[in-house]
Amino acid sequence: MTRKRATVDPYTGDHADSIYAIWHDPTTYDHMKMGPPYLPSSKDWKAMGRPKEASLVLTPEQVLGVRTLVAQAGVGEVTDFLDRFSSHYGEDSTSELGALLSYLRALAFLHQTHHWQTRGPTFYADHLLFERLYNETLPLIDSLAERSVGSGSLSLVNPVIQGAFQFSIIKDLYSDALIEAGPEQCVHISLKGVLNFLALLRIGYARMEDKGLLSHGIDNLLQGISDTSETFLYLLQQRAGGRAASRTASDWKTK
């Protein structure tokens, strides 16, 4: 006779804190307190009716904190980037979509690189954090690229133009970093990149609205990208610590 296995909710078990950290907020994982990461089997997740990759939903207070951080960042650097990108296209184009696309693609490249490079006592949590960032950025890239093409401009995804601007973004973000960036530098660079991107998104959104090119579909897409990016910024801010994140924002203010 086969004994039926009892279904146990890992969220209420001995490893509850570890599970929450692994699937929801990797920045809270502490191997010294929680021990080796406990990962429930696929059968456990299926029986619980929960997705393996659970999404973190920010509270209104957390959203306000993230948006305050973005508001504190200077806009000179991203405005210049947007102007340089737009110079390849006419005033009536949706060049802002192409600029946002190039920045997202550069960020995915950086997050994945940091996923490989991180090391030290915080390796496991950082490894998971950066993996989450680049994995969740990829579908945003695909949606934004398809919307860019759908807006009537194939040139917005031109690989030569996109590649050139992605290189300039990565070079600027790594301007003060060592060739082999340490864990704290990896976090700082990714945080700076996401913060810059949110500032760029805010400016690009306003420009498209002023030109009358902000369709309902584009509006929904950009709002969704903004929500996800705010979650990324929150996770990186938590990993870096409030002081580090605030100092990062002040570093970009245009003097």
> Which DSSP string corresponds to 137-153?
HHHHHHHHHHHHHHTT-
Average the pLDDT over each of 87-91, 129-133, 208-212, 226-230 and give the range with the smallest value.
87-91
Q: Where in the chain is the domain with CATH 1.20.1260.10?
A: 60-251
Highest mean pLDDT among 5-14, 72-81, 208-217: 208-217
Highest mean pLDDT among 35-44, 66-75, 183-192, 239-248: 183-192
* Residue 98 near residue 162, CB atoms below 8 Å: yes
Side-chain-side CA neighbours of residue 204 (13 Å): 31
Q: Whole-model pTM?
A: 0.79
- The SS3 of residue 190 is helix
Number of H helices, E strands in the chain: 11, 0
Burial class of residue 144 (count of CB atoms within 10 Å of its CB; 0-12, 13-18, 19+): buried
Average pLDDT of the segment spanning 154-171: 94
In CATH, what number does 60-251 get?
1.20.1260.10
- Report the length, in residues, of the chain: 255
Give the confidence band of 218 by pLDDT, cuts at 50, 70, 90: very high
Residue-wise pLDDT for 69-96, tens only, equals: 898 887 888 999 999 999 888 776 899 9
